[in-house]
Amino acid sequence: MKNRTDIIEVFAWEALDSRGTPTVACEVGLTGGTRGTAMVPSGASVGTHEAKALRDGGQRYGGDGVRTATAQVNSVLATAVRGLDATAQADVDTALRAADGTADLSVVGANAVLAVSVATARAAADAAGEPLYRYVAEGSAAPLLPMPMVNIISGGAHAGRAVDIQDFLVVPIGAGSFAEAIETAWEVRRSTAAVVASRGHNVALIADEGGLGPVLPSNRAALELLAAGIEKAGFRLGTDAAIAIDVAASEFYDPAGRTYDLAAEQRALTAVELTEELRSWAADFPIVSIEDPLAEDDWEHWPGAAAALAGMQVLGDDLFVTDPKRLRRGIACSAANAVLVKPNQIGTLTAAHEVVNLAHGAAMATVLSARSGETEDSWLADLAVGWRTGQIKVGSTMRSERTAKWNRLLEIEARLGSAATFAGAAALAPAPAV
């Protein structure tokens, strides 16, 4: 044994995520005795080009069991990383990738790989006696508390397709600290729930990420409710609080007809018509960020949409799937001005961090994101602070798998005290003209 940070033990087991779906949990142990654990999330509106989570199939848990993936951790991946120095994250991640051998990690599973990758960082941070956010930071880069975008109303795959658009979120652009931003979002959620109830909708329906899931006649109706909620809470629209949406357009794209089918409104739109529709919403509501306005492979129309919506943050999720290759293509054709970063889309911390740095190098904004299926683990919060992503998207202000991340960020900000820096509205693209 050379170092006290060499990996000697890797152990994985099957746990449950916030939807009750099995997920991979893992512990990595080092020579010097420190250990790190991690649990990984999973999505519902999963991009076609994401790394693949391995599921067992068969009868157990309706086919969603992950015992094959945990067995892969305990055998193939453990063998691959045992003896490696946990502080050399890139080497560990390279070994994990090589042990799988495929680009989409479909042999051992991206869920297995990410669990080991994150648990390794945790163990190494512990060995260094540092909080995870400091350990993952590049050199002496100062911690940066992210601007949250907080889910208030859900539709799409997260709420029984009550409306087509997947997320209607509040961005507390006037907040001066992370804690103030969360408090603003809490007020907006409470007021929006009151407005929803006063208009006769059901507020008992809580969506996958803790948002309200009312059945509404149109997507615009959701924007109206959120705007009314912001004002009822006493905030100025577009000054104190603004709106972000995740269109998640891949979910309602019909490749045969090349149309976007808004089922809630019984309308089928071309890419150009959908872009115009989004522009008209932005003319009537203070929308500052639009995620996945078009489908994941509609490369032909993304640059046009990005230009038409250029006053706002145009954010690629399913388009980029946290893949450096796809992000490079997007940078080359100006497909978007911001990228959503979900570590489980790509499978390792090293690759996800590379996407963040690539984006920043191209003057793009970054939003670190949880998945709709999450756990009580909070490592995502530390990555946002250490990697200085500037923004984070975790869901609503309730449900423990969501508050685990907010609570960790509140803790970090409180502990840093006067040394804490909050990214604020400046973190959103487009960068203000200088």
Residues assigned a catalytic role: 209, 342
44 lies in the binding site for ligand PGA (CB under 6 A)? yes
List the single partner that 187 binds among Zn ion, ligand PGA, none, CB under 5 to 8 Å by kind.
none
Residue among 64 and 317 whose Cβ is closer to Zn ion: 317
Which of 240, 296, 317, 354: binder of ligand PGA (CB under 6 A)? 317
Q: Cβ 400 to ligand PGA, closest distance in Å? A: 17
Give the other-Cβ count within 10 Å of 432's Cβ.
Answer: 8
The one segment of 217-225, 306-314, 348-356, 366-374 that binds ligand PGA by CB under 6 A: 366-374
Answer yes or no whether residue 55 interacts with ligand PGA by CB under 6 A. Answer: no
- Structure-token pair, residue 285: 């509501």
15, 26, 39, 46: which one binds ligand PGA (CB under 6 A)? 46
Is residue 357 classed as helix, strand or coil in its secondary structure?
Answer: helix
Can you state the percent helix, strand and coil of the chain, rounding each to 5?
A: 40, 20, 40
The nearest distance, CB 240 to Zn ion, in angstroms, is: 25
Instruction: Choose, by CB under 6 A, the member of 56, 246, 277, 401 that binds ligand PGA.
Output: 246
Our measurement of the distance from residue 383's CA atom to the centroid of its chain's CA atoms, rounded to an integer in Å, reads 11
The count of residues in the chain is 434
The answer to whether residue 248 forms part of the interface with ligand PGA (CB under 6 A) is: yes
228 interacts with, out of Zn ion, ligand PGA, none, CB within 5 to 8 A per kind:
none
CA distances from 230 to 226, 235, 421 (A): 6, 6, 25
| Nearest to ligand PGA of 232, 399 (CB atom) | 399
Region of 352 please: left (phi>0), alpha (psi -120 to 50) or beta. Answer: alpha
Q: What does the binding site for Zn ion look like in residue numbers (CB under 5 A)?
A: 246, 317
Contacts of 432 (CB under 8 A, 6+ apart): 426
Per CB under 6 A, the segment of 43-51, 101-109, 121-129, 147-155 that binds ligand PGA is 43-51
Residue 132 in contact with ligand PGA, rule: CB under 6 A: no
Q: How far apart are CA 376 and CA 296, in angstroms?
A: 29
Cβ neighbour number for residue 238 with a 10 Å cutoff: 16
Q: Which two tokens stand for residue 287?
A: 């929308």
> Cβ 204 to ligand PGA, closest distance in Å?
22
The stretch near ligand PGA (CB under 6 A) out of 44-52, 129-137, 347-355, 401-409 is 44-52
Q: Do residues 115 and 38 lie in contact, with contact meaning Cβ atoms separated by under 8 Å?
A: yes
Nearest to 86 by CA among 138, 135, 140: 135
Q: For binding to ligand PGA (CB under 6 A), which residues are involved?
A: 43-46, 166, 246, 248, 317, 369, 371-372
